[in-house]
Amino acid sequence: MQELTHYINGAHVKGTSGRFSDVYNPATGEVQAKTPLASAAEMDAAVQAAMAAQPAWAATNPQRRARVLMAFVGLLNRDMDKLAEALSREHGKTFPDAKGDVQRGLEVVEYCIGAPELLKGEFTDGAGPGIDIYSMRQPLGVTAGITPFNFPAMIPMWMFAPAIACGNAFILKPSERDPSVPLMLAELMEEAGLPKGILQVVNGDKEAVDAIIDHDVIQSIGFVGSTPIAEYIYGRGCSNGKRVQCFGGAKNHMIVMPDADMDQAADALVGAGYGAAGERCMAISVAVPVGDETADRLIEKLVPRIEKLKVGPYTAGDDVDYGPVVTAAAKEKIHGLVQSGIDQGAELVVDGRDFSLQGYEDGFFVGPHLFDKVTPDMDIYQQEIFGPVLSTVRAGSYEEALKLAMDHEMGNGTAIFTRDGDAARDFANRVNVGMIGVNVPIPVPLAYHTFGGWKKSAFGDLNQHGPDAFKFYTRTKTITSRWPSGIKEGGEFHFKQME
């Protein structure tokens, strides 16, 4: 069985803690590798290497740092299929979806190539008699990120690309469920010209997380995962004086107005609700049709589309719609929530509980589920299911639909499908959610805008990628400068000889 490593100071390093976590092939249920779980001492070794390497990297001008990222983009394109295959093998998502995972990370790297422009400070000439005031953005030092299993390529790049572009060193603690792609990314960054010690990958569990939170050298922490862990890392990290941004769970609503194109809305819901087996923080998990007639028309459109979904391993070809969920525990949790929906009175319109794939009976596959007549007091509405389960909550009016999205404790993303510009504009202005789609089901902003939710979906003042990333990974220093005015020795009319 393959034994994975950490990546510290430019080399693959075997774990020394004696603790390991199994890495599964979700399609077969088989253990295909084991990854080491770092101790606090192993984390400290990575921090020390980062601390030694970072000053020289910070002193490298932004243009030269950007050239490393430019070369990295070329290597990502070269190895796209290789990265996607490794990602699919450990995560379970389809091959096209895995390539999309890499691509959306690559786009943030492309944005970060603009670091020379994004890191420029401000200057005021003549702020007072002989006084100039200027500011500069300087790196924090050693930074760290803790990333989830569902986007093992994209989210690490969302964090380490801007951090490194700003002149920081970065320690990545990826999910222990699918750690191979982060290790490959570290190798590619050094092939692109990044000095050893600037990007390091330390695999681990809570012990490694706590070591990051409590290490006095680490200046900032980025996190994406569940809301309870986001709250824990944010609270403890801030109390330790670190700069912290934590992104938690989601319960994303899609409001369907009576005037919406129902075929377009149904297609959008199927893709956004069941793509990647629902294991996306931006997945639409709640459909909110306005009016019973709208709901009936929407359900009528959804059922045949959902029943035709092709579920299978990534090796079955590009026409597979989604693959397995990541672990047996995730599958069990999803089935438990489906049962709670039935027990609490929701109508299960499409029942995927008996789904089984011949030859892959031990895999972590979950069939698609569609609920109708879900109410806000039900567990399937309150909790993030993170699986291929779509709940329909019927709203009697636009205001009632808007209130559902606004009253939920999560505020990551939401969408409205309508032909009415006034309704769309009102919704976008009033809803207390961080990312809004208008006839767009998964409103993930492009790399040059920022990504972030509201309410219990995000903790911290700055979003991911876009301009906010360069603010998060730098400190602003302001200099007030005064020089004596006047020429003391008279004018010079010839070149002085070198002394």
Domains of the chain, start order: 2-248+457-480 (3.40.605.10), 252-438 (3.40.309.10)
Please state, as a whole number, how many other Cβ atoms lie within 10 Å of the Cβ of residue 458. Answer: 26
435, 453 contact by CB (below 8 A)? yes
341, 379 contact by CB (below 8 A)? yes
C-alpha span between 185 and 329 (Å, rounded): 28
C-alpha span between 59 and 283 (Å, rounded): 41
pTM of the model as a whole? 0.94
- Write the CA distances from 453 to 47, 111, 246, 383, 450, integer angstroms: 30, 21, 10, 17, 10
- Joined together, the tokens standing for residue 375 give 């109410």
User: Active-site residue numbers?
Assistant: 281
C-alpha span between 34 and 25 (Å, rounded): 11
What pairing do the DSSP bridges indicate for beta strands 347-350 and 369-372? antiparallel
What sign has the CA pseudo-torsion 7, 329, 280, 311? positive
**CA neighbours closer than 13 Å in the CB half-sphere of residue 58:** 19
Please state, as a whole number, how many other Cβ atoms lie within 10 Å of the Cβ of residue 41. Answer: 10
- Joined together, the tokens standing for residue 326 give 């990541």
Please state, as a whole number, how many other Cβ atoms lie within 10 Å of the Cβ of residue 471. Answer: 18
Find where tokens 């500069």 sit: 136
Straight-line distance from the first to the last Cα atom of the chain, in angstroms, rounded to the nearest whole number:
70
Per-residue pLDDT of the chain (499 residues), as tens digits, is: 899 999 999 999 999 999 999 999 999 999 999 999 999 999 999 999 999 999 999 999 999 999 999 999 999 999 999 999 999 999 999 999 999 999 999 999 999 999 999 999 999 999 888 899 999 999 999 999 999 999 999 999 999 999 999 999 999 999 999 999 999 999 999 999 999 999 999 999 999 999 999 999 999 999 999 999 999 999 999 999 999 999 999 999 999 999 999 999 999 999 999 999 999 999 999 999 999 999 999 999 999 999 999 999 999 998 999 999 999 999 999 999 999 999 999 999 999 999 999 999 999 999 999 999 999 999 999 999 999 999 999 999 999 999 999 999 999 999 999 999 999 999 999 999 999 999 999 999 999 999 999 999 999 999 999 999 999 999 999 999 998 776 556 556 665 554 4
